[in-house]
Structure 1
Amino acid sequence: MTTQTAVPADRTTTPAGRPRTPRHWLTALRRTPVSLWNDDITDWAAALTYYAILALLPALLVTVSVIGLANPDATTALIADITAFAPAESGEALRRPLEAATEQRTAVWLLVGTGSVSAIWSACSYLAVFRRAMHAMHHVRDNRPPLRQAHIIVVSAVGLLVLLMTSAFALVLTGPLARWLGRRVGLPHEGETLWVILKWPVLLCLVACLILVLFSTGPRSARGIRRGLPGGVLAAFLWLTASALFALYATQVGSYSRLYGSLAGLVVFLIWVWFANLSLLAGAQFNVELDRPEPEKEPGKDPVTDEG
């Protein structure tokens, strides 16, 4: 059987070698929803949501516990900042287990250990599914043996969790904690003011790094900052827009409370995470459309495969 290797495309030109035009970008944007439907991307988003929930909750518990050990007074502010991002009733559903974790001082290290293992395992599963989704979008067969992928996925999973914990630390780095850090770096008075200015740009950079790490799990033609940047920007925009609209709907309409009762908060959180994953996959699909998908294979030829 003949094996072909996907050749990285030049992201500054079309496959014919011509520079990209506004029409080319608009065409790629118009084709993206159609490709999302044809490639069953909503199903991939549902699978990613399952593993995201399994990874997020232990990671948040570990983060709250570790920060609570370093500065117990900061945990309340951290929990408030984290739950403020969740729409409608889901904030309360998140707050309860996080507050319970802060009360278990005697078993905190056991919680950190088991939570870390659970978060890493679930994050590895999440990345494995994201990798398969990326290859499916590119219509490229992933022939790399699982053992050759394992160490890359584990390192990437740890990197994602570190980015999440760093983002949480950036959220809570205010008030006394910011002044303490400012004294450590030699800026006793300007530290807090400087961090208020830099806080959101730093968070934006962390989110951008997280998206690029996810996109790097795809085939070789999808890797790199220049290749992932257009879809990453679109994914961030779609996620913010979907979050705002969904939060407005869940708050104003309030039908989830009537339908699901006490489970409404969890259902809202699940849907919100599903929107986040769908936005990420939509951004990745947009990158595929910018590269213009490979033409349909001729009869008698094997599909393109990826060894990387």
Structure 2
Amino acid sequence: MSIRIAQQVHVDAPWKIPPRAWWEISKRVWIATSANHLGLLSAGVAYYAFLSIAPLLAAVVLTYGLIGDPALVQRHMAAIVTVVPRDAATIINDQLMGVVSAAKGTTGLGLVLALSLALYGATRAASAIMEALNIVYARKEERGIIAFYRVSIGITFSAVLVVVSGVVTATVIGLIQTLLTGWGSGVLLAIKAVTWVCAGLLASLIFALIYRFGPNRRKAQWQWLTVGSATATVCWLLVTLGVSFYVSRFGNYNETYGSLGAVVVLQLWLFASSYVVLLGAQINAEAERQTSADTQVAGPMQKAA
């Protein structure tokens, strides 16, 4: 896809782009969402993300087991899981219970082997989003299979570490909430707000890592990832709230799909989440195209598609 740029600007950060240029960027992003079939790409990423949930949770539990009792991770993840829609949280919690039960007693070399297998199984989502990002950035996938899976596993393990950090953060927040019990509804509301802020910061970090290492291109300078990461984070939080509200008020998925209702809700949330991630990448790509300055770190240029 090639869209003419009316006038490039020479700036070294996206927040220095003038408002008129941002209007051009917005128009190109609108056109690109259709030209790049972001909806279809998001559906594919959501499918592979669904397949990766169980091994990803296993990787989280096993990684957490390196520093603590794996049996405690289910309780500690409660605050994080409540951020997602309720039906989706039910499936995640059920999967988590099974993983925790299977992980009990795993130590030493068995733990390392199980963690390696779990990471490999969870790379399907990362690999799918890497392919989607190549389309967004108009690049061909020319990395060798070792290099491709090295990046895929790296992104997956980074996501695992971020989630583990979130588990620890949620544990601290839960401890504070217990200590402040009886202080009134205002304090509890503030604690819930902190939980959402922490979830947003962790999501923003994951998005930035995906945008920098996912596509087959020279790595973008970190400042050129901020706008897309921030936009994706805000949209993800809004989409999560929106899906929860829609399902609780208007979506009779249990009546329509029966026992598959929770699965459909989870897929809907994964689709919406995938869409905002790719939308953030598209914003970053168009923002980089708007400047004549080099937005990438030093290194060999990859061939364009």
Matched-pair contact (CA < 8 Å) for 1:62–1:111: no
Change (3 A) 1:26 1:168: farther
Change (3 A) 1:248 1:228: same
1:43-71 deviations in whole A, cap 9, x for unaligned?
22122222322333333244346657935
Inter-partner Cα distance in structure 1 for 2:272 and 2:202? 20
Q: CA deviation at 1:268?
A: 0.5
Inter-partner Cα distance in structure 1 for 2:193 and 2:42? 34
Which residue is equivalent to 1:129?
128
Inter-partner Cα distance in structure 2 for 1:105 and 1:292? 47
Inter-partner Cα distance in structure 1 for 2:44 and 2:177? 39
Matched-pair contact (CA < 8 Å) for 2:228–2:284: yes
Q: CA deviation at 1:291?
A: 3.0
Which residue is equivalent to 2:232?
235
Inter-partner Cα distance in structure 2 for 1:244 and 1:153? 29
Which stretch of structure 1 is more off in the superposition, 283-292 or 74-83?
74-83
Which residue is equivalent to 2:46?
49
Q: Identity over the aligned pairs, expressed in percent?
A: 18
Which residue is equivalent to 1:81?
79
Q: CA deviation at 1:42?
A: 1.8
Inter-partner Cα distance in structure 1 for 2:21 and 2:174? 48
Matched-pair contact (CA < 8 Å) for 2:71–2:100: no
Which residue is equivalent to 2:151?
152
1:264-275 aligned within 5 A: 264-275=261-272
Inter-partner Cα distance in structure 2 for 1:76 and 1:17? 50
Larger-gyration structure (1/2): 1
Which residue is equivalent to 1:215?
211
Q: Which amino acid aligns with 1:131?
A: M
Change (3 A) 1:118 1:50: farther
Inter-partner Cα distance in structure 1 for 2:103 and 2:176? 21
Report whether the alignment pairs 1:172 with 2:171: yes
Secondary structure at the counterpart of residue 254 of structure 1? coil
Change (3 A) 1:95 1:235: same
Secondary structure at the counterpart of residue 165 of structure 2? helix
Which of residues 75, 82, 96 is equivalent to 1:98? 96
Which residue is equivalent to 1:17?
10
Secondary structure at the counterpart of residue 142 of structure 1? coil
Inter-partner Cα distance in structure 1 for 2:170 and 2:8? 43
Q: For this pair of structures, how many residues does the alignment match?
A: 270
Matched-pair contact (CA < 8 Å) for 2:229–2:280: yes
1:178-231 deviations in whole A, cap 9, x for unaligned?
99xxxxxxxxxxxxxxx9998766554432221111001224366221111111
Matched-pair contact (CA < 8 Å) for 1:74–1:172: no
Q: CA deviation at 1:41?
A: 1.5
Which residue is equivalent to 1:37?
34
Inter-partner Cα distance in structure 1 for 2:156 and 2:165? 14
Inter-partner Cα distance in structure 2 for 1:56 and 1:230? 28
Inter-partner Cα distance in structure 2 for 1:221 and 1:104? 41
Structure-2-length-normalised TM-score: 0.73
Inter-partner Cα distance in structure 2 for 1:111 and 1:60? 17
Which residue is equivalent to 2:183?
none
Which of residues 254, 258, 276 is equivalent to 1:257? 254
Q: Which amino acid aligns with 2:206?
A: L
Secondary structure at the counterpart of residue 86 of structure 2? coil
Q: CA deviation at 1:250?
A: 0.2
Change (3 A) 1:222 1:127: same
Q: CA deviation at 1:277?
A: 0.9
Inter-partner Cα distance in structure 2 for 1:196 and 1:259? 33
Q: Which runs of 5+ in 2 are unaligned?
A: 1-6, 179-190, 292-300
